[in-house]
């Protein structure tokens, strides 16, 4: 998509990113702390990097997409990365915004030396298949503390 820019998440993006996270899931844990969590992610103290996609609309850059990469070492496969919370503003869907975010995530994974990238998805399998991901049948198990 032309005219979009994918860059690192900044603290000041939190108000524009929060509605995207509510779009991603109705089950946001402690929603009153959501913006605070987004701001903390922008400080980047861990093995993760979050990005926003922005588009210039009437001379102002507006955040229209979000997504991140997290990574860690595991014994069997080496450096493993995950896509996290990729979401695009409804008004800008199917214009290649998520594809641009994935290009940046993939480039980072490559620079880091990741041996594989994993993700979970429910409704957007086609998006990831369009970026060469293959389905691996496994059971996702979660122990919830919320």
**CA neighbor of 17 nearest in space, from 46, 47, 53:** 53
Q: Which residue stretch of 38-46, 108-116, 119-127, 137-145 sits at the interface with ligand COA (rule: CB under 6 A)?
A: 119-127
Task: Give the residues across from 66 on adjacent strands.
Answer: 52, 87
Report the candidate in 5, 100, 101, 129 with the shortest Cα–Cα distance to residue 61.
5
Question: Is 93 a binder of ligand COA (CB under 6 A)?
Answer: yes
> Under a CB-based contact definition with an 8 Å cutoff, are residues 52 and 20 in contact?
no
Enumerate the β-bridge partners of residue 81: 71, 117
Of 117, 119, 114, 116, nearest to 138 by C-alpha is 119
For the bound state, the minimum distance from the C-beta of residue 143 to ligand COA, rounded and expressed in Å, comes to 21
**Binding to ligand COA by residue 70, rule CB under 6 A?**
no
How many chain residues interact with ligand COA (CB under 6 A)? 18
Indicate whether 73 belongs to the interface with ligand COA (CB under 6 A).
Answer: no
Say whether residue 96 binds ligand COA (CB under 6 A).
yes
Q: Does residue number 52 form part of the binding site for ligand COA (CB under 6 A)?
A: no
Tell me if 3 contacts ligand COA by CB under 6 A. no
Binding site for ligand COA (CB under 6 A): 23-24, 86-88, 93-99, 121, 123-124, 126-127, 130
């Amino acid at each position: 998509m032309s005219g979009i820019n994918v860059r690192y998440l900044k603290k000041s993006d939190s108000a524009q990113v929060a509605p995207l996270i509510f779009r991603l899931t109705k089950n946001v844990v402690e929603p009153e702390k959501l913006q605070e969590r987004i701001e903390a992610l922008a400080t980047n103290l861990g093995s993760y990097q979050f990005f926003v996609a922005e588009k210039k609309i009437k001379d102002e850059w507006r955040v229209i997409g979000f997504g991140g990469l997290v990574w860690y070492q595991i014994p069997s496969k080496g450096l493993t990365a995950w896509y996290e919370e990729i979401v695009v503003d409804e008004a800008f869907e199917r214009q290649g915004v998520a594809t641009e975010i994935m290009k940046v995530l993939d480039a980072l994974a490559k620079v880091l030396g990741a041996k594989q990238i994993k993700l979970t998805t429910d409704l957007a399998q086609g998006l990831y298949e369009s970026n060469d991901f293959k389905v691996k049948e496994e059971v996702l198990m979660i122990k919830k503390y919320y």
